[in-house]
Every structure is written in C-alpha cells, then in structure tokens.
Amino acid sequence: MENYFADERGFYGEFGGAYVPEILYKCVHDLQDAYLPIIESPEFKQEYHALLKDYVGRPSPLYFAERMSEKYGCQLYLKREDLNHTGAHKINNTIGQILLAKRMGKTRIIAETGAGQHGVATATVCALMNMKCEVFMGATDVERQHTNVERMKMLGAEVHPVRTGNMTLSDACSEAIRDWCCHPADTFYIVGSTMGPHPYPDLVARMQSVISEEIKWQLQEKIGRDYPDYLIACIGGGSNAAGTIYHYVNDERVNIVLSEAGGHGWQTDYTAATIHKGTTGILHGAKMLVMQDEDGQIQEAFTISAGLDYPGVGPMHCNMAKKGRTKVLSINDDEAIYAGYELTRMEGIIPAIESAHAIAALSKLTFKKDDVVVLTVSGRGDKDVETYLKNKAMAKEYGNF
C-alpha cells in the first residue's frame, strides 16, 4: 500500500524534507526530536483535547445541507470549522503548537499569516498562555483583511506589515523565517499550514486530524457508516484539507477532491493554482510544487482569497496529487464568489472566501443521488463581506443574487 504520510526524514515521496539555513539547524532538529514524544504523551493529549472542547467549542457540527443536497443531487454534509472559536480551523493547530512551545521552554511566539485567520488564532492562544506574540503579514493582506489585523492587535500581538515581493503570504513566510534565524533560542515559530521544513507539515496535519476523527464518528451516528463517498476541501498550504482527509487517505472507497485557487484561470499569469501550474522546487524549507520561472525565481501568486494566495503547496498534497490519490480542481475567483453567495442564500452560511472555493467544486462533479459528500467549511466569511459585496458583479454569469 502507498504511504501518504511523512517518512522519518519528513519526505512524502519526492516532496518535503527540511532545507533550512545553518543557523536554524539546531532549532529544527530539536523540534524534530521533540514533537512526537510530546504530542503523543497522555498529558499533552489531555490538555489539548480539553482546550479543543471547552475553549474552541469542538466537536464542530456535521450539518446536513438539505437545499444544497437537492440542488447537487447528493447527500451533502458540511463540516462546520467556521463555528470554531476565532472562526476557522486554524485554531486546532495553534492550540497544539503553543502547548508544544511551552513544553520546549520557548518564551516568544512568531507566526505568518495571509487571511489573518492563522494570525488571529496564534494571537488568541498567546493571550491565553500569556506569551509574547509577533505576526508577519503582507502589506496587501493587512489592507484586504483589515478586521483581522485589528483583532490581532486587540489580542496583544504586534503585527509587522511586510513590504517585500507582492506583499502577501509568501513574503510574510520569508520574513518570519528571517526573524526566526535571528532569534533561534527563545522563539517558537507557529507555522499555519502543512508547509515549512520537516516536522511542520506532519505536525500541522496531526493537529488538524481531529477534523476527520470527528467526521468518522459523526457519520457513523448520522448514516450508520463511518466513511463518505466524497471528501471536499479547499487547499492553500493544505492544512484544512490534510485534517479533512487524514483518517481516510488509505481508504480507497473515499474520493478526495481539493480546490485550489485559480485566480483568473490557471493558464493565465494571475493564478495561485500551484498543483496545476507548479514544478518541483524548494520554498520555505521544503521541496514542493512551486510556481517559478525557468531560472527558479518564484512567481507571484494571484487570487481574490488571501488565505490561498501562496505560490507553493504542502508536500503531502504534492505527493498525493502526483500519485493520483486526490483530484485537484482549479476554481477561479468568479466561481468562488458565486459559490459563496450560493451557500449564503441557500443555507444561511456565509463562508470564508477560501472555503467558497471548496463549495464551487460541487458544480464540477457528477454525483449519484445516494452519494455522501462531506465538505469542510474551513472558516466563516465575516472577514470577507466587503470582498463579496465589491465583487458580486463578477459572479453574474452564473446567476443572480
């Protein structure tokens, strides 16, 4: 059977590994040695799960979406990560990583953020644990995700706008790594997705795996079997997707469909559809599919969605897509805007613009009436209301709202 998880050196097939500057070797090796014994200890598990329950509000509901099921001719269940404290799946991971940081004796936390959801989730757990928090965020994202910037500040975090490159997520990651190089001893870098050097992709996937752990028993309870026919999630760096599929990757009965951000279309220069367009390269400490030119210069990603605006994608997903285990769709901005409105009007749920990419996948698939489809709504759309309103006209072609 294929192994879709990390090997001991952090490789997923040809992707992954830990490509870090000399100055970070010790930090990264310490983390590699420490993470599994800590997160698998009964004491860690007890604290992590207690916080997920009483602080985050887990389990998140698995909601049968009746009107959308009717429209798409399937049995559609929404995994409601949007209902978590702070409004997205990101907090599952930040709770876990801050508990790890504490046990490793670190006193200062840094993070990168795109949509601001990971920044807010990090600032939140830092407030909770009384830790110093600094967040790097591209200046473009500081503008388009303004509410989240204010939330981070209110929570006591320092937000550093990054003005290099196209001033988005990728530049924020580079800046966070630079900061880490300057403060390797006291600082813990809470990475927000299944990317970065080993062990981050594996660590983040494990922290998010609670999503599919819950889907299993929730489906069993609701339909009398613990697996769906389809799992659907959006994919930026890949963390909500990894969590959604974690306990199903080796179950061939389950079709996995992931939506990446096509922007204006993956064949154009304005896209973030890395799995469609990328070639193998090294970015932010790992080998992955990267959008780059012939000289290996990273090409800027483009999408309406700040959380998917990244020119790379986590190594686990590169490998699974390459081996044909996942079907990856490219969803354009206008399709995502339409899908966001559709869920809002048909189910009364305003999804994050990232999650709207997953919803748009429904119209590209053909289901049988009895097919059970579980789609993860990774976050709520409060942060995106302005974007939806401003770009409503874009979705006209698909119907009117």
Ligand X SMILES: Cc1ncc(COP(=O)(O)O)c(C=O)c1O
Residues that bind ligand X (CB under 6 A): 88, 114-115, 117-118, 193, 234-241, 307-308, 352, 354-355, 378-379
Active site residue 305: no
Active site residue 43: no
* β-sheet bridge partners, residue 26: none
Q: Which of 170, 239, 378, 383 is catalytic?
A: 378
Cβ distance to ligand X smaller for residue 117 or 292: 117
Q: Which of 81, 112, 175, 214 is catalytic?
A: 112
Q: Which of 60, 81, 90, 342 is catalytic?
A: 90
Distance in Å, CB of 241 to ligand X, minimum? 6
CA atoms of 340 and 377, how far apart (whole Å): 11
Structure tokens at 392: 């409503």
Among the listed residues 234, 209, 261, 254, the one whose alpha carbon sits nearest the alpha carbon of residue 343: 234
Distance in Å, CB of 183 to ligand X, minimum? 24
The CB density around residue 18, as the number of other CB atoms within 10 Å, is 21
Cβ distance to ligand X smaller for residue 200 or 338: 200
CA atoms of 279 and 261, how far apart (whole Å): 16
Distance in Å, CB of 91 to ligand X, minimum? 11
CA atoms of 391 and 396, how far apart (whole Å): 10
**Per-residue three-class SS string for 221-284:** HHHCCCCCCEEEEECCCCHHHHHHHHHHCCCCCCEEEEEEEEECCCCCCCCCCHHHHCEEEEEC
Cβ distance to ligand X smaller for residue 33 or 143: 143
Distance in Å, CB of 363 to ligand X, minimum? 19
**Dihedral of alpha carbons 312, 227, 377, 345, sign:** positive
Distance in Å, CB of 211 to ligand X, minimum? 10
Cβ distance to ligand X smaller for residue 213 or 226: 213
Active site residue 170: no
CA atoms of 358 and 218, how far apart (whole Å): 20
Catalytic (active-site) positions: 90, 112, 378
